[in-house]
Amino acid sequence: MRREHIEKSAAEIAAQVRSGRVSAAEIVEETLAHVDLVDGALGSYLTVLADAARAAAVRVDERVRGGEQLPLAGVPLAVKDNMCLDGTRTTCGSKILERWIAPYTATAVARMLDAGAIAIGKANCDEFAMGSSCENSALGVTRNPYDPARVPGGSSGGSAAAVAAYEAAVGLGSDTGGSIREPGAFCNLVAFKPTYGRVSRYGLIAFASSLDQIGPLTRTVEDAALAYDAMAGYDPMDATSIDRPVEATASALREDLRGLRVGIVREFDTKALGPDLDRIYRQAYGDLERLGAEVVEVSLPTAEYGVATYYLIAPAECSSNLARFDGVRYGLRVEGNDVRAMYDKTRAAGFGPEVKRRILIGTYALSSGYYDAYYVRAQKARTLIARDFAVAFEQCDLIACPAASCPAFQFGAKSDPYSMYLMDYYTIPMSLAGLPALSVPCGWTTPADGNLPMPIGLQLCTPLFGERLLLGAAHAYERATNHAGARQPVLDGVRA
Amino acid sequence: MTAGYEAVIGIECHVELRTRTKMFCGCVNEFGGEPNTKICPVCLGMPGALPVPNAAAIEHIITAGLAFGAEIPAFSKFDRKNYFYPDMPKDYQISQYDMPLTRGGAVRYWLEDGTLKECALTRIHLEEDTGKSTHAGSGDGRIAGSSYSLVDFNRAGVPLMECVSEPELHNAQEAIGYLESLRRTLLALGVSDVKMEEGSLRCDANVSIRPSGSSELGTKTEIKNMNSFRSVERAIESEIARQIEVVGGGGRVVQETRGWDEVNGVTHPMRSKEEAHDYRYFPDPDLVPLEIAHERVELLRTELPELPWQRFERYTAQYGLAPKQATQLLDNLSLATYYDRVVDASGNAQQSSNFVLGELSRLANETGVAVAESSVSPEHVAELIALVEGKRINSKIAKELLARMWSGAGSPAAIVEREGLAQTTDPAAIERFVDEVLAANEKVVADYKAGKTNVMGFLVGQVMKSSRGKADPAIVNELVRKKLT
């Protein structure tokens, strides 16, 4: 199978399409042929938009010929299936929306398309973005391109797998407590969650509104910057989007870290992650220092309450956000003798166990008599966690820490919900504080239950609106280390 | 009311605000239309759609709060009220829980006899309206026995003001006075059409009773389904009577929601407190907290018009109008404004009221054209009043002139001048008419002298007729009487 163009970065593809050396149509044909070949086994996509992608390519080629300098000209895009794209099936990985056709397009998606990207398909995810392995999708299994016996991570697992397997150059994910960063780390990608409010949530089907944030999954830091620059900025359709100028990040990519102070979190002791990961992270922190950064120790004393806090706030919001899936206006309806019975049967049949669990937890946390003890306390804890970061950032410009506590695991390995929740231990605190954070490949480890080395992600995080610094620093680290290039995904031997 | 008990009533109103667009989306906000034609992903609660607040609606609430003297906190927020209902698109309503846009204040109102009263407000907050369900297959549109229901979401997301009064009303008349004043005020502010028949004003009443002189509140019931002021009045009276009967018979009032049955004139139980929803209010994470700028509030304060109760006081205390006249004027804002212009031009409040509420309103009813929209200018009415007051014309001519002015005849002074319609007050001239009439009606004169004094009116009428209505009737009367005796 020829993969002449699609293994290139989004930046390279767009440059070639802009220059006319290759057409968007050729990129799309090569991508679709590749998807045809590998996706039966990988399951990145729930819906492949072959016809729409071909039509979009024609328009992009016309715009390029018309002289438009499209930053993402012809770049194949995987859209997580919790983002609306007008006229396409948008399922959230749930039976309740299995046949729902979105009547409008999410702002972030529209901006990517406007920048020249071409939506190849809607990518699998944990149902309503609730999960860390994609195993909670009711509509299909997605495999990790670096070891098909393992999960791609989640909830944006389909987007991550698609980009890792060259089925797209950019994947759009949504991150509520780590749903971009963790699958990005599992799939050897750059995985970036911007500051809350930087990218519009309009058209992103809500899980937890105060935490959800759209961001890119890419194979290079530069691609993440290009995608972010295309998507970021105020949207009058989202009252929580921030009306503040966006400074381009693609022009802020650095080659070193001189003059920067990097904080290592005392409470995130990597020894607890085993000797292999401990070595990888120590090496990574050392590399940051070698790039010119001053490494300092900082403290996030309340970060350990992140998971507990998150699992009150996120379910509380989701219990309300998911109420609308009631069978009245759209989506699945299972008839009953009266409207109450219809609600009960529809939601019983339409939602999977994890979604139901979180709706129950959230309903309980908001109930009269429990509200103060759970929801209000969780909000107070959230404030304390954000304050911890503010204090830490008085001593450093960036924080470096693990993205996940382990590499991609085998299917079924985390059957206990709580062990799955702990997957987001290192990513949740940043989400609660609304901070921009990303995962960048930092090494490989061969898990005890396998024989293929699996990627590990280093998480970097800055204060609010620190995207230029964040992507700039990640770029310096990526260029100096190039961990991502150490292995290729398993594509040729993959069979369903 | 039965002696020994006092009723305590609080009113909760929902008022649809008049704005160009809905509360959280760009759909047009107007009543009616084909079902489901004024909808979009946002007001349908489509997956992924987000609300963006309507600044005009927020200002309407603040304006209303200022009119009622409420406190406008610097900080407010929207909360979600969670419950499942088919006509509520998101299965939660965006509302306000513990930080409403306004707190306190009072509605000043008056009773039929002109007594001014006041009822304190608890709060006014802003929320979104729901869609509307239609139940089919049961024959009578009721949900019981219906085979299916249809939902129209045109109304979903219309900005809705909730205005809650303190329990400070004590009978149905006060409740109606309160509601009338609230309605008039919101109309005067231009924040709502306040049409009960179109559902842009809906209200519930909390009713309890207690022994006269007690300051404790009794157990209340909440009365719903009242669709006119008349039904509010009847429902409250009926519920007070029911509670007195229950307590008088040794029973206890149960806290519950009761529905008003218009046909049978009674309230009946709908649901008890035990069935009350746990709405699980929490701050809406899709919306940022509202910071209300002090300068903006002060600007809105300066833009407040004269309020209906202020006008009522002006009309009664300053102008000396009867409460009924003042109320009639205030029932029709454009008429009241017209009246004010007539008073400004004429300086005669009572005569202005007589003309505006009398002949002009009669003509308006007859022709279906509002007085303010008619071709009669307030200045011309003032001219007419001056002609009558100056005894240049009598009231009969005035009435005729007004009819011609209604048809576009213009200045009454000019007509009087042109057509020589000025009243004849010269006794010598009038005496000639009297003499002629008496001479021509010898038999009638004889009848009078024989004691049939009621023929006097006929003779006066004949004199007026021969003067073509111009003779001053007072002088005619005087002369006829003098000549007959």
The packing angle between helices A10-19 and A24-42, to 10°, is 150
Distance from CA of A419 to the nearest CA of B (A): 28
Residue B239 lies in a domain: yes
The number of folded domains in chain A is 2
Residues on chain B touching A375 (C-beta within 8 angstroms): 282
Q: Are A51 and A168 part of one and the same domain?
A: yes
For residue B308, tell me if it sits in a domain.
no
Per residue of chain A (496 residues), give pLDDT as tens: 578 899 999 999 999 999 999 999 999 999 999 999 999 999 999 999 999 999 999 999 999 999 999 999 999 999 999 999 999 999 999 999 999 999 999 999 999 999 999 999 999 999 999 999 999 999 999 999 999 999 999 999 999 999 999 999 999 999 999 999 999 999 999 999 999 999 999 999 999 999 999 999 999 999 999 999 999 999 999 999 999 999 999 999 999 999 999 999 999 999 999 999 999 999 999 999 999 999 999 999 999 999 999 999 999 999 999 999 999 999 999 999 999 999 999 999 999 999 999 999 999 999 999 999 999 999 999 999 999 999 999 999 999 999 999 999 999 999 888 888 888 999 999 999 999 999 999 999 999 999 999 999 999 999 999 999 999 999 999 999 999 999 999 987 554 4
Which residues, 6+ apart, have CB-to-CB distance to B301 below 8 Å?
B66
Asked if the structure places residue A2 within a domain, the reply is no
Res. B1 pLDDT band, cuts 50 70 90:
very low
Residues from chain B that touch A201, judged by Cβ atoms under 8 A, are 48, 50
CA distance A468 to chain B (A): 26
Q: Is B149 on the interface with A (CB under 8 A)?
A: yes
Looking at the structure, tell me whether residues B112 and B254 fall in a common domain.
yes
Residues of B with CB below 8 A from A125's CB?
A: none
Give the pLDDT of residue B419.
82
Residues A252 and A320 in one domain: no
B288 and B338 both lie in a single domain? no
User: Which of B378, B398, B419 is the endpoint of a domain?
Assistant: B419
Q: Are A166 and A248 part of one and the same domain?
A: yes
Instruction: Select the residue of A237, A324, A363 nearest B90 (Cβ to Cβ).
Output: A324
Determine, for residues A104 and B90 on separate chains, whether the beta-carbon distance falls below 8 Å: no
Task: Note the pLDDT tens digit of each residue in B9-40.
Answer: 999 999 999 999 999 999 999 998 999 999 99
State pLDDT tens for residues B132-175.
Answer: 999 887 777 777 778 888 999 999 999 999 999 999 999 999 99
- Told to judge if A179 belongs to the known catalytic residues of this protein, a careful annotator would answer yes
Tell me, what CATH number does A29's domain have? Answer: 3.90.1300.10
Tokens of residue A463, six digits: 């204060």
- Quick one: pLDDT at residue B275? 64
**Same domain? B85 vs B149:** yes
Judge whether A80 counts as a catalytic residue: yes
> In whole numbers, what is the pLDDT of chain B averaged over residues?
92
pLDDT for B420: 77
Domain membership of residue A205 (yes or no) is yes
Band (B45; pLDDT cuts 50, 70, 90): very high
**A477 in the same domain as A344:** no
Looking at the structure of chain B, the number of domains it has is: 3
Q: What share of chain B is helix, strand, coil (3-state, %, to 5)?
A: 40, 20, 40
Residue B177 resides in a domain:
yes
Looking at residue B178, its amino acid is: Y
CA distance B256 to chain A (A): 19
CA distances, A110 to each of A85, A138, A200, A205, A491 (Å): 8, 27, 11, 15, 30
Nearest CA in chain B to A342: B86
Task: Assess contact for A271 and A281: CB atoms under 8 A.
Answer: no
Residue B445 falls inside a structural domain: yes
Name the residue of chain B whose CA is nearest to A366's CA.
Answer: B280
Are the C-beta atoms of residues B55 and A239 closer than 8 Å to each other?
no
Kindly state whether residues B177 and B282 are assigned to the same domain: yes
| Probe site for chain A from B54, B138, B147, B286 (most A CB atoms < 10 A) | B286
pLDDT for the residue numbered A493: 58
Upstream peptide bond of B466 is cis (omega within 30 degrees of 0)? no
B45 touches chain A (CB under 8 A): yes
B229 domain-assigned: yes
Does one domain contain both B405 and B444?
no
Give a yes or no: residue B71 inside a domain.
yes
**How far apart are the C-alpha atoms of A346 and A326, rounded to whole Å?**
7
How many inter-chain contacts (A to B, CB under 8 Å) are there? 98
Residue from the list B48, B82, B278 with its beta carbon closest to the beta carbon of A205: B48
Out of A324-333, A467-476, B299-308, B455-464, least confident range: B455-464
Q: Which residue of A has its CA nearest to B133?
A: A328
Closest Cβ opposite residue A326 in set B50, B52, B91: B91
Domain membership of residue A168 (yes or no) is: yes
A480 burial type by CB count under 10 A (0-12 exposed, 13-18 middle, 19+ buried):
middle
> Which residue from A160, A190, A209, A167 is spatially nearest to A319, judged by alpha carbons?
A209
**Closest chain B C-alpha to A353 CA, distance in angstroms:** 20
Is the CA virtual torsion A164, A168, A169, A174 positive or negative?
A: negative
A363 touches chain B (CB under 8 A): yes
Is the domain of A155 the same as that of A27?
Answer: yes
Looking at the fold, whether A105 and A63 belong to one and the same domain comes out as yes
Please count the other Cβ atoms lying within 10 Å of the Cβ belonging to residue B435: 13
Cβ atoms A474, A440 nearer than 8 A = yes
CB pair distance less than 8 Å for B82 and A323: yes
Asked if A320 is an interface residue toward chain B (Cβ–Cβ < 8 A), one would say yes
Q: Do B338 and B288 reside in the same domain of the chain? A: no
* Among A325, A360, A411, CA closest to A149: A411
B286/A contact by beta carbon, under 8 A: yes
Report CB contact under 8 Å: A239, B46: no
Q: Do residue B280 and residue A97 have CB atoms under 8 angstroms apart?
A: no
Identify all chain A residues contacting B53, using CB atoms and an 8 Å cutoff.
239
* Domain presence at residue B113: yes
Min Cα–Cα distance to chain B from A343, Å:
9
Which position among A80, A122, A193, A414 bears the catalytic label?
A: A80
Which of A44, A155, A174, A241 is catalytic? The answer is: A155
- On the question of pLDDT at B469 being above 70, the answer is yes
- Nearest residue on chain B to A205, judged by CA atoms? B48
DSSP codes of every residue in A325-336: -SSSSSS-----
Residue B33 lies in a domain: yes
Nearest alpha carbon to residue A400 among A480, A485, A286: A286
Q: Quote the CA–CA distance of A210 and B461 in Å, as a whole number.
A: 86
Q: Does B150 touch chain A (CB under 8 A)?
A: no
Residue B330: which of B315, B342, B317 has the closest Cα? B315
Asked if B373 and B393 sit in the same domain, the reply is yes
Question: Which string of DSSP letters, residue by residue, matches B346-397?
Answer: HS-HHHHHHHIIIIIHHHHHHHT--GGGSS--HHHHHHHHHHHHTTSS-HHH
B341–chain A Cβ distance below 8 A for any pair = no
| Residue of chain B minimizing CA distance to A324 | B90
Whether A207 and A343 share a structural domain: no
Q: What is the pTM of this model?
A: 0.92
Interface of A with B in 223-242 (CB under 8 A): 236-240
Residues B146, B273, single domain; the answer is: yes
> Within this chain, do residues A420 and A371 fall inside the same structural domain, yes or no?
no
Give the best-scoring range by mean pLDDT among A195-199, B450-454, B466-470.
Answer: A195-199
Residues of B within 8 A of A84 (CB-CB) are 47-48
Final residue in a domain of this structure, among B419, B450, B476: B419
B210, B62: one domain: yes
Q: Does A97 contact B285 at a Cβ distance shorter than 8 Å?
A: no
Q: Is residue A277 part of a domain?
A: no
Q: Closest by alpha carbon to B360, among B346, B350, B370?
A: B370
Give the whole-angstrom CA distance, residue B50 versus residue B56. 18
* Beta strand segments in B36-186, E: 75-76, 79-82, 92-95, 102-103, 106-110, 116-128, 132-136, 148-152, 159-165
Chain A positions touching B285 (Cβ under 8 A) are: 208-210, 240, 317
Label residue B456 exposed, middle or buried (CB < 10 Å: 0-12, 13-18, 19+): middle
Q: Collect all residues of chain A within an 8 Å Cβ-Cβ radius of residue B47.
A: 84, 90, 92, 97, 100, 102, 205-206, 324-325, 330
Determine contact: A335 vs chain B, CB below 8 A.
no
Contact between residue A190 and residue A439 where contact means Cβ atoms under 8 Å apart: yes
Which chain B residue has its CA at the smallest distance from A128's CA? B47
Q: Is A265 within a domain?
A: no
Please measure the distance between the N-terminal and C-terminal CA atoms of chain B and give it in whole angstroms: 59
The proportion of chain B whose per-residue pLDDT surpasses 70, expressed as a percent, equals 99
A203 contacts B51? CB cut-off 8 A:
no
Q: Give Cα A138 to chain centroid, integer Å.
A: 19
Q: Is residue A280 part of a domain?
A: no
Contacts with B108 (C-beta within 8 Å, 6 or more apart), sequence order: B116, B117, B118, B181, B307, B309
- Cβ neighbours around A245 below 10 Å, total: 7
pLDDT of residue B425: 77
Q: Which amino acid is at B111?
A: L
Give A305's strand partners.
none
**Chain B residues whose beta carbon lies within 8 Å of the beta carbon of residue A326:** 84, 86, 91
Identify the domain containing residue B372 by its residue range: 332-419
Whether B288 sits inside 8 A of A343 (CB atoms) is: no
Are the CB atoms for A1 and A34 separated by under 8 Å?
yes
Residues 75-104 of chain B with CB under 8 A from chain A are 80, 82, 84, 86, 89-92
Domain shared by B276 and B155, yes or no: yes
Residues 36-75 of A with CB under 8 A from B: none
Residue A58 lies in a domain: yes
Final residue belonging to a domain, choices B257, B284, B299: B299
The pLDDT, as a whole number, for residue B439 is 87
Residue of A nearest to B276 (CA): A368
Minimum-distance CB partner of A238 among B44, B50, B281: B50
User: In CATH, what number is assigned to the domain containing residue B443?
Assistant: 1.10.10.410
Question: Which structural domain, as residue segments, surrounds residue A361?
Answer: 304-379
Please identify, among A379, A409, A432, the residue that sits at the C-terminal boundary of a domain.
A379
Q: Are residues B41 and B124 in the same domain?
A: yes
CB A296 within 8 A of CB A396: yes
Cβ separation of B84 and A320 shorter than 8 Å?
no
Q: Same domain for A189 and A82?
A: yes
Do A405 and A328 reside in the same domain of the chain?
no
- Number of neighbours of residue B311 by Cβ within 10 angstroms: 21
- Nearest-Cα residue of chain B relative to residue A108: B48
> What residues are paired with A190 via a beta bridge?
A218
Residues A244, A145, single domain; the answer is yes
Residue A489 dihedral angles phi and psi, to the nearest 5°: -65, 155
A108 contacts in chain B (CB < 8 Å)? none
The DSSP code sequence of A161-219 is HHHHTTS-SEEEEEESSSTTHHHHHHTT-EEEEPPTTSS--TTBPPSSTTT-EEEEEES
- The answer on B207 and B184 residing in a single domain is yes
Q: Which residue of A has its CA nearest to B53?
A: A239
Residues B48, A363: C-beta atoms closer than 8 Å: no
Please indicate, yes or no, whether residues A415 and A375 belong to a single structural domain of this protein.
no
pLDDT above 90 (res B272)? no
> Whole-angstrom Cα distance, residue B200 to residue B182?
13
Alpha carbon A28 to chain centroid distance?
23
Residue type, A80: K
In a domain, A293, yes or no: no
* ipTM (interface predicted TM): 0.96
Q: Do A202 and B49 touch (CB under 8 A)?
A: yes
